[in-house]
Structure 1
């Protein structure tokens, strides 16, 4: 190579850094726009919650609803959580409260509430029916079969709801009664974004609260606003039994002349750990139906959760999502504020010479402002100033810092613990029981050793199953 060739090579540097820089800035703009969409949608949806006309209608004119609440032990805020379903402003509903055995500590709370509200049609179901490895499905399957109504509302035991939630949710499920027929696909499932509140001061509880009420809520609302695919959390879901009885969890479209020999109905989802997500996906893909968020939140009581509990909870659901939506899980770190902010900062410095020390503080400040605006929309008020504000923002910052390390640890494994049992997550989110009680990792010891509590539903007191 002569001198002219060398000079020409130096005058035409590789285009790869430029392409990467442009890609990083473009990706940042996309993720930030998606978060901004979640923020704007939260303002529109949650800052006004009108009373449903069904609340004061004649019972014979409104669709009946069967509320199913699976219980296990004394969850944080259990009495208030369950009482919120006894006080719904809706004229036609029944409640099923289900426990695994007659020694469950939740039964005392249930019986107190039934005595307090004798006019509410409430039933206790004791004893599970094993239809799969998922204990929640095993717990509610008998109530599912005994439900007198087609519309079912399944709520986790750590969820409290506003008294108008049921009426507004049925409105969303059925649509306006006077609306003209349209080409829009029927709503098959109404769900509620979780809004966490810590009932005790523990670090993990506040980190979980900061996560659910900001970044998680923002992206959850944004993805459901775009609505290109199913995205549902099972804290509080309303759907029709007649629809569930038509799906089998294969996610293959059901045809009019379907002669499938696959079993159908709720029982088939007992083989999945994330049965809520699979039910939603089945309604979407098998029946071609859609979902909707009502203007209510599922107030999620978070009890005494250590930082280790938070760590393992996030690990569990990353490993489950990895088997269900691998591509989305793979790019998850590139949606987090630190990683995407650094990528954008590097890109802007390379393309325009914009200093990283200036961009990153602006980025984090704006990102935090958007997340806190989402919080205000869901809560109905802004985050209080003073010590509460600083405690929340401190937990928020810790959550952001932990996001990448947790993902890096979780992405390589397939073993999860749930309700005191160990499972191996397989294809499509199906699970099987594992005989291995302990994962051989230094993360399980020292600071990261589990506290021994069953963290899947934030249970405050151990039950007979431990």
Structure 2
């Protein structure tokens, strides 16, 4: 019986390993096919009256790394019919000086600054965006984070993908959202920044592209998303299909962007709502959202990864629990143990071959998204960060999966069911209690 069980486990392990390689190859081939050639859209040179209008919504808070260049990339879009709405919650926000300088530099761009938030939930980004959302002149909205820079042709190509061909294939679901795979740019080469860069530009991008190519469910990050306000006004984040005889009917109760203020990952929930409640699908353009990674320490990186693991745990528990078994280190153990039992291959050979091929695929994904191979002057720094990322993946997961509190933009939240959050007082560890200064009266030493 024990021998039969080992045979079954080894066979299942090898099948699982092969399945993950199929996913990795799909992600790598998608990156090659989609991102190594980025043709210019005809919409870039079309008359303004012949293209759909777009409202670009950029929420601002403070002086993000590379903020001037990030915002400038939306002032220089090659698209004839768009407006730009820059929103800040506080009139004293330092980002306003950058925004006003760019408005002076590009007077021909239809740009407005909207000051003041409307509190509709615990999510500060949603609170910041609500007024811009309501005042936007166009139905198509492009919501793009302040730490993202994009190519001048991104908007035109994204509208192409959203609108689709004039005569879509029969039975093909309508596109409700276009998103862009994040690609990290490091400006402050601290260890956390380097690890984040290695993660986003290899394994994360590979899996992100593969899942979206398979299109079995919604998988979206909110760095840069296009969707229609008229679609968002019909959904509320319940993820239940609309039950109405009228095909354009909304969900009962509050809908639209304010309804998503109760979620921390509002971007993912909006995408899921458009997918599940409307029955529509998503698409990727051939552009990346260049995410400028700032001064990130190792601790910052760990807490960032932990935050999103804890959010995903309350949204898609089964998929989250499977995550460790998709990581390279755990997979190398599965491969070595399975092949060793089934065919007697020495463990060290399996591990060496596994990591050689894994690194090759990851670097190929990087080259596709970046438009060039990994630069030689940062090769060893990048590979050291890549190795650290792979070794840290399982410890970070185990640390994150047993908690429900997350910190974001200086605030602490408790993650609830379905990804909703509530404000929480930060819990204090025993070490923090030890380090807490006592309220002793200072002693006059005469010095």
For this structure pair, what is the TM-score category when the shorter chain's length is used for normalisation? Answer: over 0.9
State which of 322, 326, 329 in structure 2 corresponds to 1:331: 322
Aligned pair partner of 1:153 in 142, 154, 162: 142
Number of the residue aligned with 1:69: 58
Distance 2:40 2:190 in 1: 36
Aligned residues: 432
Determine the structure 1 residue equivalent to 2:16.
Answer: 27
Deviations 1:344-394 (A, max 9, x none): 100100111100111101100100000000000000000012x41111010
Offset of residue 176 of structure 1: 2.2
Cα distance, 1:443 vs structure 2? 9.8
Q: What SS does the corresponding residue of 1:14 show, helix, strand or coil?
A: helix
Map residues 369-384 of structure 1 onto 2, 5 A cutoff: 369-384=360-375
Provide the residue aligned with 1:255 in structure 2.
Answer: 243
Q: Map 1:119-198; keep pairs closer than 5 Å.
A: 119-177=108-166, 179-198=167-186
Give the distance between the partners of 2:103 and 2:123, measured in 1 at CA: 28
Residues in 1 aligned to 2:170 and 2:213: alpha-carbon distance in whole angstroms: 19
1:463 maps to which residue? Answer: none
Shift of 1:255: 2.9
Measured in 2, the distance between the counterparts of 1:30 and 1:405 equals 24
| SS of match in other structure, 1:324 | coil
Contact 2:302 2:396 (C-alpha < 8 Å) held by counterparts: yes
What aligned pairs does 1:368-447 form with structure 2 within 5 A after superposition? 368-385=359-376, 387-434=377-424, 436-440=425-429
Equivalent of 1:116 in 105, 116, 123: 105
Match of 1:217 in 2: 205
Q: Which runs of 4+ in 1 moved over 4 A?
A: 441-446
Please list every run of 5 or more consecutive structure 2 residues that lacks an aligned counterpart in the other structure.
Answer: 436-447
Cα separation, partners in 2 of 1:180 and 1:260, compared to 1, 3 Å: closer
Say whether 1:290 aligns with 2:281.
Answer: yes
Secondary structure of 1:157's aligned partner: coil
RMSD: 1.5
Partner residue, 2:217:
229
Residue 437 of structure 1 deviates from its aligned partner by: 2.2
What do the CA deviations read for 1:411-438 (whole angstroms, capped 9, x no partner)?
000000011111000000000000x224
User: Structure 1 residues 443 and 369, CA, compared in 2 at 3 Å: closer, same or farther?
Assistant: farther
In the aligned structure 2, how far is the partner of 1:154 from the partner of 1:315? 25
Describe the shift of the 1:359–1:442 C-alpha distance in structure 2 as closer, same or farther (beyond 3 A): farther
Equivalent-residue separation in structure 2 for 1:270 and 1:392 (angstroms): 37
Report the Cα distance in structure 2 between the residues aligned to 1:220 and 1:406, rounded to whole angstroms.
20
CA distance in 1 between partners of 2:58 and 2:235 (Å):
22
Match of 1:208 among 196, 200, 204: 196
Give the whole-Å Cα distance in 2 for the aligned partners of 1:329 and 1:145: 35
How far apart are residue 341 of structure 1 and its match?
1.0
Aligned to 2:261, the other structure's residue is in SS state: helix
In the aligned structure 2, how far is the partner of 1:250 from the partner of 1:164?
35
CA contact (8 A) 2:10 2:342 kept: yes
- Helix, strand or coil: the match of 1:209? helix
Instruction: Measure how far apart 1:153 and its partner are.
Output: 0.1
Shift of 1:444: 11
Tell me the TM-score normalised to structure 2 length.
Answer: 0.95
Distance of 1:364 and 1:345 partners within structure 2 = 12
1:138-178 Cα offsets, whole Å, 9 max, x none, are: 0000000000000000000000000000000000000123x
Residue equivalent to 2:48: 59
